[in-house]
Structure 1
Amino acid sequence: MAERTVKIASASGLHARPAGIFAQAAAEQPATVTIEKPGGSAVQASSMLMLMTLGAGKGDEVTLRAEGEGAEESVNALADLLEKDLDAEE
């Protein structure tokens, strides 16, 4: 299992556009990835609706976990995405 904790950089957190971009990227990963806020429940990173239920805002820490083939690469790719302001991405 691979795990990494990162801070969300997007101005609107994991809502609307950033959640859609992140969910699509998670769905394209070879490993199954979950995301959670400290003290919260883990949700599937590939589900835009579940991401929005996290209530994760700018600067919040979240933990990504992945299992399966390519787990480390999947976690790193998605963590790198969260560390960008996805609201500003074209």
Structure 2
Amino acid sequence: MVKEKVLVKNPIGVHLRPAGDIAEAAIKYKKCEVYLASGGRTVNGKSLLSILSLGIKQNTEFEIICDGEDEEAAMKSIMAALGPDL
């Protein structure tokens, strides 16, 4: 299991585009579970609507959790998908 904390700098927070980027990157890894955790809730990182349901705003920290065979590759892909704009 690998975990990575991310601080949201974007004034809009985690809106549709970055949430879609996360889900799109995560869904490619069939042998790895991906979760996002924020505000005491943990959701499926492969589900766009679940990610949006967290309502992650600017200056909020969330955690990405990858667990499975391809966990390192999945984390690297998700972090790359987020880019410097988040």
Counterpart CA distance in 2 for 1:79 and 1:8 is: 13
Report deviation, 1:42. Answer: 0.8
Q: Secondary structure at the match of 1:42?
A: strand
Counterpart CA distance in 1 for 2:18 and 2:75 is: 17
Using structure 2 for the length normalisation, give the TM-score: 0.80
The one-character-per-residue Cα deviations of 1:39-81 (angstroms, maximum 9, x if unpaired) are: 4211011111001111112332111111111112212321343
Using structure 1 for the length normalisation, give the TM-score: 0.77
Q: Secondary structure at the match of 2:41?
A: coil
Matched, 1:52 2:52: yes
The list of structure 1 runs, each at least 4 consecutive aligned residues, that deviate by more than 4 angstroms after superposition, is none
Gaps of 5+ in 2: none
**Would you tell me which structure has more strand in proportion to its own residues?**
2
Q: How does 1:48-87 map to 2 (within 5 A)?
A: 48-85=48-85
What's the % identity of the aligned pairs?
Answer: 31
